[in-house]
Amino acid sequence: MVGGFGSYAFGFLRVSKQPEAAVAVPHNDVLPFYRNLDLPVKVVLTDNGREFCGTERHPYVLYLDLNGIEQRRTKVRTPKTNGFVERFNGTVLDELFRVKMPETCYETVDALRADLDIRLIHHNTERPHSGYRNIGRRPIVTVMSFVSQDG
């Protein structure tokens, strides 16, 4: 998940497309992060994958509903979101999966997850981002500047 305000990214490499796995990121990372900053999460934008969509009894849909979060979905065959997601996906593909993965023989999924965690820390706290909203700042700086203005 990538925040639409400052491109702060969250992620967990999973080997399943089960809805319970999709719920793990907002439950374990996203909501605690923003609650700690006293910022509400009101809307999430997902694709139409089976891990995110279904009836009102679908685990991901239920989880969002229980937390008062509106789910918006991308249009079919139009996978554009807010630009932040596309940029983050491209960065992870280019810097981790296309470069590091062929060079490193990962013996476990956990080893690959550890590298993704390092990439997330770098993305959020070390790498300046150009473009709208961040204007050369790191995502954590963008989020924290909003929190300090709001408070």
The interaxial angle of helices 109-121 and 84-92, nearest 10 deg, is 130
Q: pTM score, two decimals?
A: 0.80
Query: What is the DSSP pairing of strand 43-46 with strand 70-73?
Result: parallel
Residue 4 corresponds to which tokens in the numbers above? 């639409």
Kindly give the residue spans of alpha helices, DSSP state H, lying in the chain. Answer: 19-25, 31-36, 59-66, 84-92, 100-103, 109-121, 139-150
Q: What is the pLDDT of residue 134?
A: 82
Position of tokens 């685990």?
59
Q: What is the pLDDT of residue 36?
A: 94
- Report d(CA 106, CA 20) in Å as an integer: 25
Residues 55-78 have pLDDT tens digits of 778 899 999 999 999 988 877 666
Q: Is the dihedral of CA 137, 4, 29, 103 positive or negative?
A: negative
What structural domains does the chain harbor? Answer: 19-150 (3.30.420.10)
Residues 6-27 have pLDDT tens digits of 788 888 887 777 888 889 889 9
- Report d(CA 142, CA 118) in Å as an integer: 20
Instruction: Note whether 15 and 108 are within 8 A (CB).
Output: no
To 5 degrees, how large is the angle CA 54–CA 12–CA 95? 120
